Amino acid sequence: MQLFNSCCGKGFDGKKKEKTEPSWRIFSLKELHAATNSFNYDNKLGEGRFGSVYWGQLWDGSQIAVKRLKAWSNREEIDFAVEVEILARIRHKNLLSVRGYCAEGQERLLVYDYMPNLSLVSHLHGQHSAECLLDWTKRMKIAITSAQAIAYLHHHATPHIVHGDVRASNVLLDSEFEARVTDFGYGKLMPDDAEDGGAAKTKNNNAYLSPECVASGNESEMGDVYSFGILLLELVSGKRPIERLNPTTKRGITEWVLPLVYERKYGEIVDQRLSGEHVEEKLKKFVLVGLICAQTEPEKRPTMSEVVEMLMNESKEKITELEANPLFKDPCNSNGNNREQQVAAENSDAIAEEKDHDQQEQE
Ligand SMILES: Nc1ncnc2c1ncn2[C@@H]1O[C@H](COP(=O)(O)OP(=O)(O)OP(=O)(O)O)[C@@H](O)[C@H]1O
């Protein structure tokens, strides 16, 4: 606890913080009760696996989102404090880091800045989806900035952090529709004995989870890359990561996108709500990068830094290079080509036979 008190009112790194960046601190339960109208139902923003999130307003007028964790029981308090401190140290303009916490009695609460444009999922599939506020330019910006945030976690944060839960509901949007990736590093923070621990996570997170992560239950950087690939395809197409085709059949987004890429039908992949405002070359690049990230074999996936580089690279040669990846060659079509060659060969044999036959008749 000493650790936290010594940090109150200052950034951890001791550098002068910008005015817009609120300082880290411990909140009292009383203060959070006052801010959220005693966790009133009307203040509730939603509910995740680890608890409910409430909108609140502090005495200085600033708006916060308070995550009230459930099932906090047996762990030592210092574990919570230490883990929260580690996460709160991680600062990047496209990450939504925890702003403070409250640990009183059985209550454990995490405090964040309130994001007025809520989550990406609410714009793609939820309450804001009909308004279509996310135009093509905003989507590209969200893709690049969320990739940068995850790359920062993987390659620059100390310690390096595996997000472990990359998905559209964890990409929040600020007033400028800039991405703020949140809920990173929860694997360590959340208690092992939480009533809906690992199993529920695997179940709920299924659509974004890499095959190796489903098999082993272990999170990894390559697993984050896979999840990001799914997120990218979702962002471009506006489709859910898994679609139910009928009561018994489901289809993953890659299963739908890949055949369209084989036929180079990118225009059928893009979200039809965007009514043609996309740039063809950029659309192609985002789709190809999404699929390259969401490959089954983890060793074939790029790192998140490479993903950022690919998304930002404007050269046409790079797109041609991406498109030449064997992943985008239709295995059936190559059989089809063989078949075409076979049919052509059979036809030329038949023509030759016909010629022979004609010649014989003339003789
Ligand atoms: N800082 C915030 N500002 C605005 N809305 C928020 C904020 N944090 C969370 N929310 C909203 O609160 C709801 C619950 O969030 P929470 O992170 O608990 O769950 P989730 O991300 O939907 O699911 P999971 O916990 O399974 O990852 C979501 O709809 C989310 O958009």
The two three-digit tokens of residue 352, written as one number: 């030759």
Cβ distance 308 to 228 under 8 Å? no
Atom of ligand 1 nearest to the CA of 113: 1
Which protein residues are within 6 Å of ligand 1, measured from CB? 45-50, 53, 65, 67, 96, 112, 114-115, 118-119, 165, 169-170, 172, 183, 204
Mode of pairing for the β-strands spanning 63-69 and 100-104: unpaired
Distance (angstroms) between ligand 1 centre and the Cα of 288 equals 29
**135 closest CA partner among 235, 64, 228:** 235
Inter-CA distances, 109 with 43, 57, 101, 190, 324, Å: 15, 15, 6, 12, 49
Does residue 359 belong to any structural domain of this protein?
A: no
Does residue 361 belong to any structural domain of this protein?
A: no
Residue 265 labeled ligand binder = no
Measured by CA distance, the residue closest to atom 19 of ligand 1 is 48
Q: CA 88, CA 70: separation in Å to the nearest integer?
A: 20
Q: What is the pLDDT confidence band of residue 204, given thresholds at 50, 70 and 90?
A: low
Does residue 60 belong to any structural domain of this protein?
A: yes
Q: What is the pLDDT confidence band of residue 80, given thresholds at 50, 70 and 90?
A: confident
> What is the structure's pLDDT at 52?
95
Say which range, 26-40, 152-166, 326-340, has the weakest mean pLDDT: 326-340
Q: ipTM of this predicted complex?
A: 0.97
Distance (angstroms) between ligand 1 centre and the Cα of 183 equals 8
Mode of pairing for the β-strands spanning 249-252 and 242-246: antiparallel
pLDDT in tens, 329-359: 988 876 544 444 444 444 444 444 444 545 5
pLDDT in tens, 283-306: 999 999 999 999 999 999 999 999
Rounded average pLDDT over 81-96? 87
Does residue 314 belong to any structural domain of this protein?
A: yes
Number of domains in the chain: 1
CB < 8 Å & 24+ apart, contacts of 32-41 = 32/56, 32/66, 32/102, 32/109, 32/111, 34/59, 35/64, 35/66, 36/66, 39/66, 39/68
Residue 199 has pLDDT above 80, yes or no: no
330: annotated active-site residue: no
pLDDT in tens, 220-262: 999 999 999 999 999 999 999 999 999 999 999 999 999 999 9
**147 closest CA partner among 166, 133, 165, 134:** 166
The CATH code of the domain that includes 209 is 1.10.510.10
> What is the structure's pLDDT at 81?
80
pTM comes to 0.83
Does residue 158 belong to any structural domain of this protein?
A: yes
Is the omega angle on the peptide bond into residue 298 within 30 degrees of 0, that is, cis? no
Mode of pairing for the β-strands spanning 107-113 and 63-69: antiparallel
Does residue 12 belong to any structural domain of this protein?
A: no
Distance (angstroms) between ligand 1 centre and the Cα of 167 equals 11
Does residue 98 belong to any structural domain of this protein?
A: yes
> What is the structure's pLDDT at 72?
59
Q: Please, what is the angle between helix 280-293 and helix 221-237, to 10°?
A: 150
Identify the domain containing residue 153 by its residue range: 25-324
Does residue 107 belong to any structural domain of this protein?
A: yes
